[in-house]
């Protein structure tokens, strides 16, 4: 069995007396979409913050590509290939889609920003940026200012920004939030195409999307994992269904991929 891209071992985090991450252990395999779901307040974003380096865990270990990165700074994790969508860099509204992605590609290379020589003018960064835009279906919008894009296109651009850093793992924190039905369908299609090229840890409230995309699902409730398994296993888990009572409905039938 291939070594996991990401491995969490006994991760714990408290804010005062409140346990927001309680002995969490899970793996993300190469080419896998591993979804983390749970009711509001379950601790999903806090978990992502610990993996990305925004927060330090109180206990436990985070292994990335076999290396212990538990105490590594955020920027050093990014250099190793750990990319968190929507937080790697902010979209600059007055910059084009290409320029936004090129800046991310430049940061991914670890080079300094050249404010008097725009990153978008450099051929190598331009090529990397265009590849990322093509992967998310925005190549034809490369010269469009980001501020003029629709909400769904901005979501696509944020994903392209993550891809431009040459990641080994994508941390996606609610990538479908605020998207309409057509935009959601388009984003699901994009993630489906990326699924074997990148390992993905997906936090998402849209259960239809989760069950359409995920290879495995982990369910987080009050900071504790109550179940991990394939979509079919999670769908039939009584404890999971009880945890979602009055929250999101777990689809009873498999959603089409």
Residue 117, pLDDT > 60, answer no
pLDDT confidence of residue 111:
53
Q: Which residue has the tokens 């896998």?
A: 32
pLDDT confidence of residue 203:
94
User: Does residue 188 contact residue 253 with C-beta atoms inside 8 Å?
Assistant: no
Structure tokens at 35: 């979804």
Residue 239, pLDDT > 50, answer yes
Q: What is the mean pLDDT of residues 170-199?
A: 92
Residue 113, pLDDT > 80, answer no
Nearest residue to 220 via CA among 247, 199, 184: 247
Q: What is the 3-state secondary structure (H, E, C) of the chain?
A: CCCCCEEEEEEEEEECCEEEEEEEEEEECCCCEEEEECCCCCCHHHHHHHHHCCCCCCEEEEEECCEECCCCCHHHHHHHCEEECCCCCCCCCCCEHHHHHHHHHHHHCCCCCCCCCCHHHCHHHHHHHHHHHHHCCCHHHCCCEHHHCCHHHHHHHHHHHHHCCCCCEEEEECCCCCCCHHHHHHHHHHHHHHCCCCEEEEECCCHHHHHHHCCEEEEEECCEEEEEECHHHHHCCHHHHHHCCCCCCCCCCCCCC
> How many other CB atoms are found less than 10 A from the CB of residue 34?
21
Tens-place pLDDT, residues 56-92: 999 999 999 999 999 999 989 989 999 987 544 468 9
Delineate the domains of the chain, giving CATH numbers in brackets.
1-88+167-257 (3.40.50.300), 91-164 (no CATH)
Structure tokens at 84: 């968190």
pLDDT confidence of residue 253:
54
**Using 50, 70 and 90 to split pLDDT, how confident is the model at 122?**
confident
Nearest residue to 41 via CA among 223, 231, 225: 223
Distance of alpha carbon 12 from alpha carbon 23, whole angstroms = 5
Residue 254, pLDDT > 80, answer no
Residue 200, pLDDT > 90, answer yes
More confident site: 195 or 116: 195
**Using 50, 70 and 90 to split pLDDT, how confident is the model at 119?**
low
CA dihedral for 170, 174, 175, 176, sign (positive or negative): positive
Kindly report the average pLDDT of the chain as a whole number.
88
Nearest residue to 21 via CA among 55, 53, 52: 55
Residue 114, pLDDT > 80, answer no
pLDDT confidence of residue 40:
87
Tens-place pLDDT, residues 8-53: 999 999 999 899 999 999 999 999 999 999 988 899 999 999 999 9
């Amino acid at each position: 069995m291939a070594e996991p891209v990401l491995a969490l071992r006994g991760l714990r985090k408290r804010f005062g007396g409140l346990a927001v991450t309680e002995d969490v252990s899970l793996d993300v395999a190469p080419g896998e979409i591993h979804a983390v779901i749970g009711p509001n307040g379950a601790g999903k974003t806090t978990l992502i913050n610990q993996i990305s380096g925004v927060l330090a865990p109180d206990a436990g270990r985070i292994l990335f590509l076999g290396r212990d990165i538990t105490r590594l700074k955020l920027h050093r994790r990014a250099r190793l290939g750990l990319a968190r969508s929507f937080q790697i860099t902010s979209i600059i509204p007055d910059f084009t889609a290409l320029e936004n992605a090129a800046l991310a590609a430049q940061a991914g290379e670890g080079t300094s920003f050249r404010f008097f020589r725009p990153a978008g003018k450099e051929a190598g960064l331009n090529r990397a940026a265009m590849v990322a835009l093509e992967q998310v279906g925005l190549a034809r919008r490369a010269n469009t200012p980001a501020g003029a894009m629709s909400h769904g296109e901005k979501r696509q651009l944020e994903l392209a920004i993550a891809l431009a850093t040459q990641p080994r793992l994508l941390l996606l924190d609610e990538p479908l939030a605020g998207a309409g039905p057509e935009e959601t369908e388009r984003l699901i299609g994009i993630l489906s195409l990326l699924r074997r090229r990148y390992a993905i840890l997906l936090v998402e409230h849209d259960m239809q999307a989760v069950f359409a995309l995920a290879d495995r699902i982990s369910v987080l409730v009050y900071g504790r994992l109550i179940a991990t398994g394939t979509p079919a296993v999670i769908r039939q888990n009584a404890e999971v269904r009880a945890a979602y009572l009055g929250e999101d409905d777990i689809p009873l039938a498999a959603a089409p991929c």
